Structure 1
Amino acid sequence: MSERPHFSQPLDDGIHDSLWQWAQETYGLKGVWQPLWLNGLPLGRLNDKWRDLLLRGWPDFLRENSDGLHLDGKNWRELGENLQQTAAGWRDSGLLPGWRNELFDVYSADGQSLFPLERSAFRPLGLMSHAVHLNGLVHRDGEWKFWIGRRSPDKAVAPNRLDNMVGGGIASGETSTNAVLRESEEEAGLNAALLGGMGLQNKIRSLRPVSRGLHNEVLHIFDVVLPATVRPKNRDGEVAEFMLMGVDELLAAMQNCEMMHDAQLVTLDAFLRYGLLDPDHDLSKWLRRIRFEEEA
C-alpha cells in the first residue's frame, strides 16, 4: 500500500460538470463591494450596510474616493485599536452578534502581520482571515476513505453540516502548524505523535458573500494518513460524530448539500491532488487558479 493516497480512475464528466456548477454558484465576488483601504493598503471589501456604518462612525477620518474608502491611522497599532473599538460598538448596539472574543491577525499582501482584530469583525469589513483544514485519510477494505466530522447541532454556524476531520481559525500570533495541532487535539483527540506524517499540501483562497458580509479566507490545507485502528474522538463539544466515508458517499453528500462550503472545497482540492479530477476540466483549472501565494 502506498503511503500517499491515489485514485487511478477519475470521476465521470457529469460529476465534474455538477461540481463545477456548484463552485461557480458558490464562490466569487458577486454583488457590489467597495474596497476598504487601511493606511494605504487595499485590505477589505464592504457592502452598502457596513460602508454606511463606517462612514457614520468615522466621519472625520474616512475619505471616500473613486477607488473606495480610505481609513488611516498614525500607525497600525492605533488603527487596529480604533477598529476594535468600532467593532465593540457594533456588538453593543446589536449590529454584530456572535462576538467570539478571539483575535485574528490582519496581514499585508506579503504576509506581514499588521494588527490583531476581533474575529467576528472580519466578514463585515471583508478582511482576509486564515484557517486550517485537515483531511484525515485511511486505507481500509481496499480503498481510500476520508474521516468526516458532523458539526454539533449547537454550533452557531452550519449546525449538523459535514466538515473536514479538523478545521478552525488561525489565532493571532499562531502559525498554521500550531493551529492545526491545537485544533486536532481539541476537535479530534489526535496528538502530535499521531500526526507525524501530516504535511501542508496547499493554500487556497475562499471568497464568497455571506449574510454578515464577505467571507474572505485563506485555507491552509493539511493531509494526514492515519492508521486503520485510529478513530477520531471529539473533546470540545463542537463535533457530534465522525464518519469514515468513501468517495461515492462523499459525492452523495456534496450533491445533497450536506457539506460546509469550505469543507467541500478542501475535499475537492484533495480530489484533484490524488487523481479523482481531470486536470484539464474547468473545475480543476479553477482550483489551481485560487491557490494562494503571498506577494514577494
Structure 2
Amino acid sequence: MRRVMETLRSTKNGKNCGGPKVYQNEKSCGGSKVYQFVEALRSTKLCCNPGLQKSDIRPFVVEGQQVGLVKSEVFKQLLKYPEVFCIRDCEQTKQGVVELNPAFRDYNERTEQLEKVLRNLRLEGLFPALQGWRDEYFEVKSEHRALLKMERAATPLFGVRKYGVDINGYVRHPTQGLCIWLQQRSNTKETWPGKWDNMVGGGLSVGFGIKETAIKEAAEEASIPSDLVKNLVSAGCVSFYFESRQGLFPNTEYVFDLELPVDFVPHNADGEVQAFELLPAKECVERVFTPDFKTTSAPVVIDFLIRHGHITADDVLDFTQIVELLHVPLQSLYTYKTRLELVQKQKQQQKKLTGNEDTNCNCDCLQSTKPTENGYKNGP
C-alpha cells in the first residue's frame, strides 16, 4: 500500500480536503485500507485546488477549445516548435495558454503536424511516456467533435482526457458468495507490467465505440464467447485524476458488469495477460490495496464493491464523499473557453456602463489568428 500511496501523492495539484475519519465496521470492508485509499484519492482531486491556478500548468487549446493541460517540462520543449504551437498571454490564466497553430484547419492537418513533433520528442528520449509508443491513437475531442488524433503514449504529456472500458467479471458462488475475476498483466506490458487488474479493460481507440471496445477486449483478453458477452450490463462510469512521472491522467472509464457461470475460466488470447484468479469479494478488497494492484484500476473495483453492497454507508462514515471521489467532475478542468467568454461578456457590459474603452481581455486565443513572431506574444 505504501507504494500506491507514494505514487498517488506525487501529484502537486491536490490538497487534502478533509473527509472520512472513522470506519464503523473495518472487518466488512477492509477498514483502514479503504480509508487510506480515500485519502490518497482525495489528495489528487484537482477540483479542490484547480491546477490552472498553478504556474506549472497551462491550458492546451485547439480550435478555441481547451482539450488538455500542459506542465512546465513539456511546455519548455514545445517552445522549440513555434510553427506548430502558439504561446499566448492571457490575464485570465496568468501563465498563458498553449494553442495548436490555428492555421491548421482540419483534422488530418492538425494530426500530422502534431505527430511530427511527437516523433521528434520520442527520438530525443526526454519523456518516459513516449518510450511506450504503441502506434495506437486516441481521439482528441472538444465538446461536440473530434479535432485530431494523438498517439496514445503521448496523451499524458498534454493532459488529454482519456476514455476506456472495464469489465467486472463476477460469479455468484454457491459457498463463497460474490467472487470477482482479476487478471495479472503480462510482464512485457509497457504500462503496469505484472500488476493485478480488472478482468478485462482497454482504451477507446480511434474508430471503436464503447460497447464495441468492451466486446473486442473481452475476446482478446479473456476469450469470453459471444453467448456470454451478450449479457454485458452497463454500470455507468468512474472518473479520476492521476499524476505520475509519465504525465497527467484525467481518466474516464465506462464500466460494465458481467455475471459469469461458476464453471467459466477465462483464457488470454493476445499475450497481454499472464494469469487469472477468482477471489471472494473480501479477498478482492485486500488485493486492491496492495502494491501489486494497478492503481488506476482500483476505482473501478471499489465502485463495483459499493454497488454490490460490500462497502456500504453502514461501514463507512461520509460514505457519499467516497462515492464522489470515484466520480471527479473532470469537465471542470477544461472550461478555459467558457470562463474566458464569460469574462469577456462581463467586460463588455462594464464598458457599456462606464464607457471605459480599455476593457478587453489581453488574449486572442479564441480567434483563428496566425501565430505571432517566434510563436508567442509579449514573451513566453
Superposition TM-score tier, normalisation by shorter sequence: 0.7 to 0.9
- For the 8 Å contact 2:30–2:282, the answer to whether it is kept is no
Deviates more, 1:283-292 or 1:145-154: 283-292
Aligned runs of 1:204-215 on 2, under 5 Å? 204-215=238-249
Q: Deviations over 1:136-170 (max 9, x none)?
A: 01011240011000111222211111100001111
Aligned to 1:69: 98
Between structures 1 and 2, the one with greater strand share: 1
Q: Are 2:120 and 1:89 equivalent residues in the alignment?
A: yes
Candidates 319, 322, 333, aligned match of 1:283 = 322
Deviation at 1:80, TM superposition (A): 2.0
Size of the alignment, in residue pairs?
286
- For the 8 Å contact 2:171–2:262, the answer to whether it is kept is yes
Deviation at 1:234, TM superposition (A): 0.6
Q: Which runs of 5+ in 2 are unaligned?
A: 1-26, 336-380
* Structure 1 segments (4+ residues) deviating >3 Å: 12-16, 25-32, 288-293
Residue 291 and residue 217 in structure 1: after superposition, are their counterparts in 2 closer, same or farther (change >3 A)? closer
Aligned runs of 1:257-296 on 2, under 5 Å? 257-279=291-313, 280-281=318-319, 282-290=321-329
Question: For 1:75 and 1:101, how far apart are their aligned partners in 2?
Answer: 21
Aligned to 1:22: 40
Aligned to 2:167: 134
Aligned to 1:180: 214
Question: For 2:270 and 2:179, how far apart are their aligned partners in 1?
Answer: 24
Question: For 1:203 and 1:34, how far apart are their aligned partners in 2?
Answer: 27
Kindly provide the amino acid, as one letter, of the partner of residue 276 in structure 1.
H
Q: Which runs of 5+ in 1 are unaligned?
A: 1-8
Question: For 2:77 and 2:143, how far apart are their aligned partners in 1?
Answer: 26
TM-score scaled by structure 1? 0.88
Among all aligned residue pairs of Structure 1 and Structure 2, give the percentage whose two residues are the same amino acid: 25
Question: For 1:60 and 1:20, how far apart are their aligned partners in 2?
Answer: 41
- For the 8 Å contact 1:131–1:167, the answer to whether it is kept is yes
Kindly provide the amino acid, as one letter, of the partner of residue 204 in structure 2.
I
- For the 8 Å contact 1:204–1:290, the answer to whether it is kept is no
Kindly provide the amino acid, as one letter, of the partner of residue 35 in structure 2.
D
Aligned runs of 1:39-58 on 2, under 5 Å? 39-58=63-82
- For the 8 Å contact 2:28–2:282, the answer to whether it is kept is no
Kindly provide the amino acid, as one letter, of the partner of residue 171 in structure 2.
V
- For the 8 Å contact 1:278–1:284, the answer to whether it is kept is no
Question: For 1:290 and 1:204, how far apart are their aligned partners in 2?
Answer: 10
